[in-house]
Amino acid sequence: MLSSSVATVEVADAVIAPMPVNSTEPAASGNGWRHLLAVTGRWLARLLLALVVLSVLLVGALRWLDPPLSAFMLHHAWNVWRLARQPPYYQHHWIAWEQIPPTVRLAAIAGEDQRFPTHLGFDLIEIRHALASYQQGGRLRGASTITQQTAKNLFLWPGSSWWRKLLEAWLTLLMEILWSKERILEVYLNIAQFSPSTYGIDAASWRYFGHSASELTLEESALLIGVLPAPGQYRLDNPSERLQRRADWIIDQSRRLGGLRYLKRL
């Protein structure tokens, strides 16, 4: 009888005894989130490192390899293809640095980026002037250098988002570090857009003047460089008075810089 009573009490105690609290479950949940964040962080770091290495290799290779096209050309071809038009979607010819006349090189610097030989990809003086003008009520004008424009046209897409600007800045630094000034200017003149469907100084020279860029005069060079801020607004087949005034200004600036001697700074 006694053993039966003891057994009954033990069963009753087992029924009414509180269940043990699992104090480790919240901690395990917190550890799981921390682990997930750590793994995600490691993968993002690896991805960022891979993108950095890839961009360095790509920009470094183009120091010697001539790009057959640019991102802007691809963008243009895509838009034209969607309209069901037949190729060629644009005109483009590559011309070697040695064949680009000094007059064209000088006109490009005089018209687009007069501190190109000395800056490291960013014209801080021009940026400061643009910001001061904007703070005084003027419109926010661009202050892009030839290197920045080359990075944008060659690798990126049209637009003005901060994300694209960040990529442009990184690629600009890489080009300034890995390329010579001559190479930057050579690539720029070969991929710049001179009309809605014409890219590169040689294709533009053949289309509008009927001869190679190697034969361009200073006046012709100034007209071609004059359209670069807005190739969709100017017409080289029928230059407006506004374009002619800009070409005259480029010629005047070329002389004020010291003429062809200025190219020795490259």
> Average pLDDT for consecutive 10-residue bins of the chain (266 residues)?
46 48 56 80 87 94 96 95 88 96 97 96 86 68 87 91 92 97 98 95 97 96 94 90 96 96 94
Please tell me whether residues 105 and 230 are part of one structural domain.
yes
Please tell me whether residues 89 and 203 are part of one structural domain.
yes
The answer to whether the peptide bond before residue 88 is cis (omega within 30 degrees of 0) is yes
Specify whether the CB–CB gap between 73 and 190 falls below 8 A: no
Domain presence at residue 73: yes
Please tell me whether residues 119 and 238 are part of one structural domain.
yes
| Spatial CA neighbour of 231 closest among 203, 207, 196, 190 | 196
Q: Residue 159's CB: how many other CB atoms inside 10 A?
A: 9
Please tell me whether residues 83 and 57 are part of one structural domain.
no
| Spatial CA neighbour of 244 closest among 221, 226, 217 | 226
Q: Looking at residue 25, what is its pLDDT?
A: 55
- Give 195's strand partners: 198
Specify whether the CB–CB gap between 189 and 104 falls below 8 A: yes
Provide the domain count of the chain: 2
SS3 state of residue 72: helix
Please tell me whether residues 120 and 176 are part of one structural domain.
yes
Q: Looking at residue 29, what is its pLDDT?
A: 63
Range of the domain at 138: 62-265
Domain presence at residue 1: no
Q: Looking at residue 22, what is its pLDDT?
A: 52
Start-end of H helices in the chain: 2-16, 25-61, 71-82, 102-112, 124-135, 146-155, 162-178, 181-191, 201-209, 218-226, 241-256
